Structure 1
Amino acid sequence: MKLFLPGPVSVRKEVLEKFLEPVIGHRSAQASEIQKTISINIQKILGTEHTIITSTSSGTGLMEGAIRSCTKKRALICSLGSFGELWYKLGLENSIETDILRSVSGEATDINKLKELLNKNDFDFVGITHNETSTGIKNDLDEFKDIIAQHSDIIWALDAVSSAGGTPINQDYYGIDIVITSSQKCLGLTPGLSFASISDKAYEKAKTVENRGHYFDFVNLYDFIKDHDFQYPSTPAISNMVSAAYQLDYIVNEEGVENRYKRHLEMSDYFKQWANKYFPVYGNPKYQSPTITAINNTNNIDFNDLNNKLMERDIMISNGYGDLINKTFRVGHMGDYTIEDMKYLTKNIEEVLGL
């Protein structure tokens, strides 16, 4: 089955075969070396020199850890859709005073509204959705750079779950304190791991916050890595880490991150040009994602029938999400797919729909 989903993605055979290797001790020198390799390569993918933590969880876990560990006063979430709403909910459920700046659906964050909110309120944590999988919209970090520089007292965190490894992040250039991503999307890995970069500023802030929880406590995670040679506080999914180390080495040292970004953009451009011949691509073209395309279902296609017929051909795509179910359908062009894979997909959709 070829998964053209906004995650999880199809995983290379060579990466899956790493799970067949014997399980190793998670406190061994070999485990430390594996986790060190992961950290070095995630740094290169995110464009940062900050400390990397690897978590045995989805990205949601580290999103919760970030807002809980680094908010002492009030948090603000810049939401592009359903997963911004999730981060907002995580704040409220952890008894954190949390506000949300919702974008118009299909649009990026309104920078002027963000400036107004920052001037009116005493926020000390701002979470930004970089790439929203429910709408196929990506915030342009260039629009945030000056604001981040002007509010250096705030901990700035980025949800890059569906963008890291598929488009440049350049964390240190933008002055972002925390970047969070997951294994099962652009990195081309199985679900089960998430990664976060943590600046020293975020770490020092977290030490002043009480009741940070335990499993996702950024201070505990940060300290353990420093004190125990890159290891994880509890027993991690070590086989996932072996697989991740292999794939991340491939991304950085064989394909090359710039080549990977170029390939993702080429797939996106091809697919969006194709989609616009038959349906309008959802959202403002200026902010459309290079890793996911949401298509406006203006032709009232029965999505379930389309996807069932595609699955008979060992292909799967995704319905809309949240308020956009049946109003849109979504295709992921991420991970290790190529232009040839996208052409295979469009050929099959044309045949099924009789386009």
Structure 2
Amino acid sequence: MTDTETYGRFFLPGPTEVHPDVLAAQTRPMIGHRGPGIVELMQNIEPGLKAMFQTERPVIVSTSSASGLMEAAVRNGVAGGKVLSLVNGAFSSRFSKIAMACGHDVERWEVEWGQVHSPDELADRLARSEFDAVTLSQSETSTGALQDLEAISDVVRQHERALLLVDSVTGVGGAETHTDEWGPDFILTGSQKAVALPPGLAFAVASEAMMERSRNAEAKGWYFDLVDLVDQGIKYQSPATPAVSLLYALEAQVERILAEGMKARWQRHLDMQQRTFEWIDEMNDAGVGLGVFAAEGHRSPTVTCVTMPGGTGSPELVERVESAGWVIGGGYGKLSDSTFRIGHMGDHTVEELDGLLDVISEALK
């Protein structure tokens, strides 16, 4: 089969499927990163990025993984005080570990995997202790849990010193997110998730409070200096050589995203989530015994973590699906044997998802 014939079968929760036209855009000839070509390229990219984040502020484009911008968040956003890390899975835990690795005093507020944090309890914690920053993962890729970013942002805004630093790696581009309206101080995502690009780029928006914190930061390093990244970005430049081929792909993809429109994109992700839930119900009506790991009412529209019948057998299921020519994700970390994950994000459609669900149904027999 050609790549085009197999398109629509890759449902990992990252990296996700990349459209053939977007992949092909990377083959354009190279340009200098200080000439007029790069300026035009970045000008073409800007409207789509702002639409994805729902912002009028500059969108930082970093040649790095999203984990790099998680480090940028704590290096620029913590001024020597404590960090409150909201941990409910593997990647929110990574955020706290990054803060600790950067030398910060971190208080981990852990809830069970698959659960989310209470905004009311967060308000109580912030009232009892002073924190420089709060970290969280909006969409926890390991469990499929979705935090209430709007409510949490509202709570943190009531505390002048605390900045809200958000990993939205499987959020932005798929889960409805309104950066300017909700007001997180730093929100980041990666190219390889709901944005549906190859890995290697990361994007973020910083509030004015975050930028002021960055201007006064003493140990922010050089590569992830937000002041420099924003100042260069406003001129459609970058501090260091960017991944030009990936920027070509980004240009092609934001054109596709703008053509669809963000409201339609968000709805398509919700439709895929709902179809996944319906399929689980259908399988259970047939006596299979599947479940959704994340708490009801707090489930991400981009990734569903499905519990296995009997709580075991995920690796074998993933192999059977792959042998049929499709790809899903296994469980992550301590959930590796008991769950599998469907990354219904990016440019996938309900029709493509139905094809996958038929394959999984056969593999479960």
Shorter chain as denominator, the TM-score bin is over 0.9
Displacement after TM superposition at 1:168 (Å) = 1.2
Residue identity opposite 1:235 in structure 2: T
Question: Is the 1:68–1:96 Cα contact (8 Å) retained in structure 2?
Answer: no
What residue is the counterpart of 1:336 in the other structure?
347
Whole-angstrom CA distance in 1 between matches of 2:186 and 2:362: 44
What residue is the counterpart of 1:201 in the other structure?
209
Question: Is the 1:148–1:175 Cα contact (8 Å) retained in structure 2?
Answer: no
Whole-angstrom CA distance in 1 between matches of 2:160 and 2:167: 19
What residue is the counterpart of 2:158 in the other structure?
150
TM-superposition CA deviations, 1:16-51 (whole Å, max 9, x none): 000111111111212122223323321111111122
Residue identity opposite 1:334 in structure 2: M
Are 1:305 and 2:316 an aligned pair? yes
What residue is the counterpart of 1:20 in the other structure?
27
Aligned length, in residue pairs: 351
SS of 2:59's partner is: strand
1:244 corresponds, among 250, 256, 276, to 250
Whole-angstrom CA distance in 1 between matches of 2:153 and 2:24: 41
What residue is the counterpart of 2:299 in the other structure?
288
Are 1:235 and 2:246 an aligned pair? no
1:170 corresponds, among 153, 178, 184, to 178
Displacement after TM superposition at 1:268 (Å) = 0.6
Question: Is the 2:315–2:336 Cα contact (8 Å) retained in structure 1?
Answer: no
Displacement after TM superposition at 1:68 (Å) = 0.9
Residue identity opposite 2:254 in structure 1: L
What residue is the counterpart of 2:262 in the other structure?
257
Residue identity opposite 1:237 in structure 2: A
What residue is the counterpart of 2:278 in the other structure?
273
* Aligned-residue RMSD, C-alpha: 1.5
TM-superposition CA deviations, 1:283-340 (whole Å, max 9, x none): 2111011110001123345222222222122111111111211121111100111111
Are 1:4 and 2:4 an aligned pair? no
Whole-angstrom CA distance in 2 between matches of 1:79 and 1:32: 39
Displacement after TM superposition at 1:113 (Å) = 2.8
Residue identity opposite 2:278 in structure 1: Q
Are 1:222 and 2:227 an aligned pair? no
Whole-angstrom CA distance in 2 between matches of 1:158 and 1:222: 18
Question: Is the 2:214–2:227 Cα contact (8 Å) retained in structure 1?
Answer: yes
SS of 2:297's partner is: helix
Q: TM-score, normalised by structure 1?
A: 0.95
Q: TM-score, normalised by structure 2?
A: 0.92
Question: Is the 2:86–2:110 Cα contact (8 Å) retained in structure 1?
Answer: yes
Question: Is the 1:46–1:168 Cα contact (8 Å) retained in structure 2?
Answer: no
What residue is the counterpart of 1:61 in the other structure?
68
TM-superposition CA deviations, 1:144-198 (whole Å, max 9, x none): 2431331243222211100111021101111212110011111111111000111
Question: Is the 1:18–1:242 Cα contact (8 Å) retained in structure 2?
Answer: yes
Are 1:125 and 2:133 an aligned pair? yes
Are 1:321 and 2:328 an aligned pair? no
Whole-angstrom CA distance in 2 between matches of 1:38 and 1:294: 32
Whole-angstrom CA distance in 1 between matches of 2:47 and 2:261: 14
Displacement after TM superposition at 1:120 (Å) = 2.0
Whole-angstrom CA distance in 2 between matches of 1:114 and 1:39: 34
SS of 1:98's partner is: strand
Question: Is the 1:101–1:114 Cα contact (8 Å) retained in structure 2?
Answer: no
Residue identity opposite 2:272 in structure 1: M
SS of 2:309's partner is: coil
Residue identity opposite 1:243 in structure 2: A
Bigger drift between 328-337 and 299-308 goes to 299-308
Bigger drift between 276-285 and 129-138 goes to 276-285
Question: Is the 1:53–1:222 Cα contact (8 Å) retained in structure 2?
Answer: yes
Are 1:159 and 2:167 an aligned pair? yes
Question: Is the 2:183–2:207 Cα contact (8 Å) retained in structure 1?
Answer: no
Q: After the TM superposition, which segments of 4 or more aligned residues of structure 1 sit over 4 Å from their partners?
A: none
Are 1:113 and 2:121 an aligned pair? yes
Whole-angstrom CA distance in 2 between matches of 1:125 and 1:269: 34
SS of 1:179's partner is: strand
Residue identity opposite 1:351 in structure 2: E
Whole-angstrom CA distance in 2 between matches of 1:104 and 1:115: 19
What residue is the counterpart of 1:101 in the other structure?
109
Question: Is the 2:131–2:161 Cα contact (8 Å) retained in structure 1?
Answer: no
TM-superposition CA deviations, 1:202-245 (whole Å, max 9, x none): 1111111101111112122122223xx12111111011011101
SS of 1:299's partner is: helix
In the TM superposition, 1:25-40 aligns within 5 A as 25-40=32-47
